[in-house]
Amino acid sequence: MIITAVWLMLPAYLPNSMAAVFGGGRPIDGGITMSDGRRMLGDGKTYRGLIAGTACGMLVGLLQMYYLSRSNSIFGVELPSFGDGAGALIVIFTLAFGSLMGDMSMSFVKRRIGYKRGAPLPGVDQLDFVMGAWLLTFLASPAWFLSNFTFSIVLTVLIVTPLLHFVTNVIGYFIGVKNEPW
C-alpha cells in the first residue's frame, strides 16, 4: 500500500523539493503588496521554482512510465499506471503542477492571515501540495483519479506524506536549500 501510494504521488512529491533546490529569482506575485499591507504570495513562490518543479515532477513521471513499459511491479508489488499516451502525460502534469498550485494557494492564504514567508503552519505545510495535486488531477482525469486513489490509498498518502515531508525538509535544511526545516 505504501509503495503504491508513493508511486502514484511521486510526480507530486518531487516538485516541492525541486522548487526549493532550483527556486529563486522573480517572484510570481511580482513583488505586489495587497491592501492588507502584506505580500500577495511572497518571495518564496518564484517562476523558476514553479517551472523547474513542474519539469522535475514530469520527468520523474516519464521515468516511471518508462519503467512501467518494462515491468509492472517493484519489490513484488504490482504498480498502477498513469494511463495511456496523452492521458498519462496529462495525469503526470496535473500531479506535478497541481502540487505547486496547492502550495502557492496556501501561501496566499498564509499571507492573508498574517503569516510571514517561511512561518510554519502545521498540517497545511505538509498537505497543501497533496490537495492541489489531487484537486487538479481529479478535475482533469476524474475516472483515472477515482480508480487509482481509492479510500485506502488516500488514507495511506495522508499518513505517509507528512513523514516524508518532514524527512526531506530536514535534509533540505541541512544541505542549505531550505531556510527552515519545515
Q: Which positions lie near ligand CTP, rule CB under 6 A?
A: 19-20, 23-24, 42, 44-46, 49-50, 100, 103-104, 107, 110, 117-119, 178-179
**Choice between 95 and 153, CB closer to ligand CTP:** 95
The label of the residue with cell 519489490 reads 75
Q: Are 119 and 111 in contact (CB under 8 A)?
A: no
> What is the H or E stretch that residue 157 is in?
helix 151-174
**Choice between 44 and 98, CB closer to ligand CTP:** 44
3-state SS class at 86: helix
Query: CB of residue 155 vs ligand CTP: minimum separation in angstroms?
Result: 24
As a whole number of Å, the end-to-end CA separation of the chain is 26
Query: CB of residue 166 vs ligand CTP: minimum separation in angstroms?
Result: 13
- Cα within 13 Å of Cα(169), Cβ side: 15
**Choice between 112 and 147, CB closer to ligand CTP:** 112
**Choice between 115 and 138, CB closer to ligand CTP:** 115
Query: CB of residue 64 vs ligand CTP: minimum separation in angstroms?
Result: 22
40/141 Cα distance (integer angstroms): 30
Query: CB of residue 138 vs ligand CTP: minimum separation in angstroms?
Result: 21
DSSP state of 128: H
